[in-house]
Amino acid sequence: MSESKAHHVEIRDVDGETLMKLVNYIYTAEIEVSEDNVQVLLPAASLLQLMDVQQVCCDFLQAQLHPTNCLGIRAFADLHACTGLLSLAHAYAEQHFTDVILGEEFMALSLQQVCSLISSDKLTVSTEEKVFEAMIAWIKHNKEARFEYMPKLMEHVRLPLLSRDYLVQIVEEEPLIKNNNICKDFLIEAMKYHLLPADQRHLIKTDRTRPRTPVCLPKVMMVVGGQAPKAICSVECYDFQEDRWYQVANLPSRRCRAGVVYMAGKVYAVGGFNGSLRVRTVDVYDGLKDQWSSVPNMQERRSTLGAAVLGDLLFAVGGFDGSTGLSSVEAYNPKTNEWMFVAPMNTRRSSVGVGVVDGKLYAVGGYDGASRHCLSTVEEYNPASNKWCDVADMSTRRSGAGVGVLNGQLYAAGGHDGPLVRKSVEVYDPNTNTWRPVCDMNMCRRNAGVCAINGLLYVIGGDDGSCNLSSVEHYDPTTDKWSLIPTNMSNGRSYAGVSVIDKPL
């Protein structure tokens, strides 16, 4: 305690303005933390053991977590021994990995930091492809200096969990792999794994064959636009845990009859009807910022289309352009930021429902416009061959059916045939190419939204032939029963789009 006898005490690493704020805090118990001062305030509070101020700074930084800054906040927390913030920032980076890898912070990580991230069992990725692509991008960011790290990084990529096609077409053809014998060994290991019968693969136990087990973020159900009774721009979310609805940022303009999907952490609202025109526009919602932006327009105007994500592409299927039903299909590639046409369907389909099962896209029912028939027919699209083929018909005609996928099976709920609105539901098994009926919904519904979560299939809103519905019901396949959720939407909506998203912090 030599300072107690000194006439002057030199406090290093704290500037005068920061020290004044902390002295004022000691007397007033008040302090203001901002983006401008948190990086000097936190180290100073740690040095002077003002733990309450340190915690306020950590809470402030936690509230600022975003894919573009979480790695920097993690490093800052590590430097200043803020263990709580460190673990929260690390968990955030794991949970938002697919967005984090697009930022400059990821490219600036050290080898050890990249290995720590991509080796985590808790990494939230839709497929292991994301991890492989992130690793290759990090190497290529400074290829001369980082090429030697390839084997060390490949050790943490779970190649056996990739599809056989991806291994052959992408991994094997990557020059960085071809030029490295150790990396080739990892590829051979993955190939051998795929040669085993499916029921024997569990016997191979290595770090690379162990599936990742991410800590799932809480989810909310997002209902976008719709008809109530005219096109609206409001968007509301349902919190499953709290059983409550709340509003989020409105669409940039009124929109109903759009295709809505969740892809790479964002919600896309594709095409639709604004109350006077069928549109080509595509709006994108960022839940972290609670705001909408736009991406390039589709090539055709489409309302009552089907929209789905298959691989890394967003597909817009059929619909109505204002004068005729469409058989055309186009796909959006977020990497190139472009739309391109793929093979058209065999039949024109507006008010079509779509779903993806086992890498195939299904177009279900709809209205053909030409012969003025609601359709019972179903088509399957294979992206490998870029061809559509007919599969088994549904038992009944359904236009405006709610289509969703649960446990590898395709559900068609409600819809209508002329003036008759249905409450019946049937399910398609691609393995047997057959449809079978399941329990009827509680209410007749057409033009309803559909999503699946936690083993349940939700059908949202729609109309019963006379009025728009604000109710939501879910189907449990283990009991073959439909149940209404306790709380209705704020207003009835038909032709709304629905998606399940991570609950925003």
Domains of the chain: 111-203 (1.25.40.420), 225-502 (2.120.10.80)
The SS3 assignment for 431 reads: coil
Separation CA 494–CA 228 (nearest Å)? 7
pLDDT for res 2? 82
pLDDT for res 213? 83
pLDDT for res 369? 78
pLDDT category at 385 given cuts 50, 70, 90 is very high
pLDDT digits (tens, 9 = 90+) for 279-326: 999 999 998 789 999 999 999 999 999 999 998 899 999 999 999 999
CA atoms within 13 A on the CB side of 500: 16
What is the amino acid identity at position 35?
Answer: E
pLDDT for res 264? 82
Which of 6-15, 455-464, 494-503 shows the lowest per-residue confidence on average (mean pLDDT)?
Answer: 6-15
Mean pLDDT, residues 395-424: 96
Adjacency order of strands within the sheet including 434-438: 402-406, 409-413, 425-429, 434-438
Mean pLDDT, residues 45-71: 91
Separation CA 295–CA 293 (nearest Å)? 7
pLDDT for res 165? 86
Give the largest CA-CA distance in the chain: 99
Q: Is the pTM of this model over 0.85?
A: no
- pLDDT at 126 exceeding the cut of 80: no
% of the chain at pLDDT higher than 70:
99
Between 246 and 214, name the one with better pLDDT: 246
Beta-carbon contacts of 90 under 8 Å, excluding residues fewer than 6 positions away, are 74
pLDDT for res 154? 94
Query: Which is nearest to 177 in space by CA: 130, 140, 128, 210?
Result: 140
- pLDDT at 273 exceeding the cut of 90: yes
Report the run of H or E that residue 410 belongs to, with start and end: strand 409-413
Tell me what the pLDDT averaged over the chain comes to: 93
Separation CA 172–CA 149 (nearest Å)? 18
CA 70 to chain centre: 19
Strand pairing partners for 266?
263
- pLDDT at 505 exceeding the cut of 60: no
Task: List C-alpha distances in Å: 505 to 9, 69, 220, 269, 289.
Answer: 43, 15, 12, 22, 10
Separation CA 97–CA 99 (nearest Å)? 5
Written as one string, the DSSP assignment of 447-502 is S-EEEEETTEEEEE--B-SSSB---EEEEETTTTEEEE-SS--SS--BS-EEEEEE
pLDDT for res 289? 85
pLDDT digits (tens, 9 = 90+) for 451-482: 999 899 999 999 999 999 999 999 999 999 99
pLDDT for res 179? 83
Give backbone dihedrals phi and psi of 460, rounded to 5 degrees, phi first: -120, 125
- Other beta carbons less than 10 A from residue 80's beta carbon: 18
Between 218 and 116, name the one with better pLDDT: 116
pLDDT for res 174? 92
Residue 155: left (phi > 0), alpha (psi -120 to 50), or beta? alpha
H, E, C per residue of 208-272: CCCCCCCCCCCEEEEEECCECCCECCCEEEEECCCCEEEEECCCCCCCECCEEEEECCEEEEECC
Query: Which is nearest to 364 in space by CA: 305, 277, 290?
Result: 305
Query: Which is nearest to 493 in space by CA: 235, 221, 228, 275?
Result: 228
CA 377 to chain centre: 30
- The answer to whether 235 and 225 are in contact (CB under 8 A) is yes
pLDDT for res 1? 78
- The answer to whether 406 and 482 are in contact (CB under 8 A) is no
What is the amino acid identity at position 237?
Answer: C
pLDDT for res 178? 86
pLDDT for res 198? 74
- pLDDT at 4 exceeding the cut of 60: yes
Between 155 and 3, name the one with better pLDDT: 155
pLDDT digits (tens, 9 = 90+) for 177-210: 988 889 999 999 999 988 888 777 777 788 898 8
Where are any strands of DSSP class E within 58-214?
none
